[in-house]
Amino acid sequence: MAAEILKNYINGTWVTPEGVDCLDVENPSTGGTIARVPLSGEADVEAAVCAAREAFPAWRDTPVSRRASYFYPLLDLLRENEERLVRTLVAEMGKSIPDAQAEMKRMTENIQVACGMPILQQGDKAVGSAAGIDGEVIRLPLGVFGLIAPFNFPAMVPFWFVPYALATGNTYIVKPSELVPCTMHVITELIDRIGLPPGVFNMIHGGQTAGQAMLGNPGIKGISFVGSSRVCRKVATRCAETNKRCQAMGSAKNHLVVMPDANMDEAVRNMITSCFGCAGQRCMAASAIVCVGEMVEKEVLARLVPAARDVVVADPLDPAVADQPVVVGPVISREAKERILGLIEDGLSEGATLALDGRDIAPPNPGGHYIGPTVLTDVRPGMKVHRTEIFGPVIVVLKVDSLEEAIAVVNEHEYGNGASIYTRSGYYARRFKLETEAGMIGINVGIPAPVAYLPFGGMKSSQFADIKTQGKAAVNFFTEDKIVTERYWPEEF
């Protein structure tokens, strides 16, 4: 049976783009085709922008409590359809079922936070800011916003933005990654059932052409993007040229610093989940372990390598692995696998040592794109495998002599998304959280991703934006502060 050709969702209607090519959507676990996605063009984007612009005035003027009320039935529908969504996500992206379930949980948490928009969007008032004069700050929506989404979190990442944009009174266009369009397609089917006015929410399938059209369209007031820092620079530059607001969340090289006083049992268990969950394809995955002292390095490797060797590599939809705490599924594509293998070779050529080689594992499915957990030791700061976001189940281990050196390794790196320390010492922990140049810090936490009502975002070249996402921070991105200075004289009747 021929694979389904997906449709765009514009102005409350499912639309088949005309005159465009389609791309096969691959199951990376098997290599099979699960759908076909249209590569929409500039005309399709323009149609979505026109619909969103037309819907904006009435949506802006809808009371904020009413705007937020649409999310309650959406939460119910998402929960009722969680199994379908999870299996769709796993089939097109390749992460494990528990990882997909965790992604769904964080997605719904962001919707729940946005339901508080009647509080979050409140302004400020200064009565008596001068003699007989009051000052006020009101937060108003701007118009049409858009998202160019990544492949690795097809459910969660769009909901870093969508609920906040809509609840603040803006209209929205989502472009899912062409590699994983099916999850957002199913979510849009559910959004279609909650009764939003036509044009308030729109979805466009496509690749680079559609993304470029969104960046260049003057009717879009702001763009959110999640991807590599290389592309973030281009997105941020293009947004500046077209006077758009921009949130561009980029690459990462998240470090785990292990102090001599760390609880090694818990630290290594934590590392396995952090480093190898989602096959390392997440911006918060730890990919560099910094051991403070030779004895720490020896103990970490003595525990980490056997534990990593025991991690199951499998098709995540195989019922035989349903109860496994960590399952390494495939990386997203053949091209991604080849890139990761090339980086491992680069590390070896620079003098790194393979403590665990995951390159030659027997693939669970012949057509899948699998790499087993891989550990590189004898890595020095500045080596390519340390500088580069590998985005796969590959970790590098470095050794330093002090906390000061460990912090320097983190701070001298180009990226500053997340960083964690394993220690029992409040002194070490305090220094680390104050001195380390990373946007998200963990203390005995391997994945320091904040909960939905706290901001999410990095520093340095991990974020090309002044405003982070999630919670009240997102409100600041989607609203314009308007400052009102007002005075009234007595009326004479």
Strands (E), 142-276: 144-148, 171-175, 201-203, 220-226, 245-249, 254-258
Is residue 283 annotated as part of the catalytic site, yes or no? yes
Residue 323: per-residue pLDDT: 83
User: Between 3.30.450.20, 3.10.20.30, 3.20.20.140, 3.40.309.10, what CATH number should domain 254-443 receive?
Assistant: 3.40.309.10
Fold type of domain 8-250+462-484: Aldehyde Dehydrogenase; Chain A, domain 1 (3.40.605)
| Other residues' Cβ atoms within 10 Å of the Cβ of residue 80 | 10
Task: Show pLDDT as tens, one digit a residue, over the chain (493 residues).
Answer: 678 999 999 999 999 998 899 999 999 999 999 999 999 999 999 999 999 999 999 999 999 999 999 999 999 999 999 999 999 999 999 999 999 999 999 999 999 999 999 999 999 999 999 999 999 999 999 999 999 999 999 999 999 999 999 999 999 999 999 999 999 999 999 999 999 999 999 999 999 999 999 999 999 999 999 999 999 999 999 999 999 999 999 999 999 999 999 999 999 999 999 999 999 999 999 999 999 999 999 999 999 999 999 999 999 999 999 888 899 999 999 999 999 999 999 999 999 999 999 998 988 998 999 999 999 999 999 999 999 999 999 999 999 999 999 999 999 999 999 999 999 999 999 999 999 999 999 999 999 999 999 999 999 999 999 899 999 899 999 999 999 999 999 988 7
Residue 117: per-residue pLDDT: 97
Residues 252, 413: contact at Cβ < 8 Å? no
> b or e along 417-442 (b: 16 or more beta carbons within 10 Å of the residue's beta carbon)?
bbbbbbbeeeebbebbeeebebbbbb
Domain locations along the chain: 8-250+462-484, 254-443
Tell me the sheet residues that pair with 464: 248
3-state SS assignment for residue 415: strand
Which of 238, 325, 216 lies closest to 273, judged by CA? 325
Choosing from 232, 275, 278, 283, which is the catalytic residue?
Answer: 283
Name residue, tokens 């281990």.
397
For 286, the enclosing helix (H) or strand (E) is strand 286-292
Token code pair at residue 194 = 């909650």
Which of 257, 258, 353, 255 lies closest to 296, judged by CA? 258
Bridge pairing between strands 245-249 and 254-258: unpaired
Residue 94: per-residue pLDDT: 97
Residue 1: per-residue pLDDT: 60
Q: What is the DSSP letter of 278?
A: G
Number of continuous H segments (helices) and E segments (strands) in the chain? 17, 24
Q: With the C-alpha atoms ordered 75, 77, 82, 84, is the resulting torsion angle positive or negative? A: negative
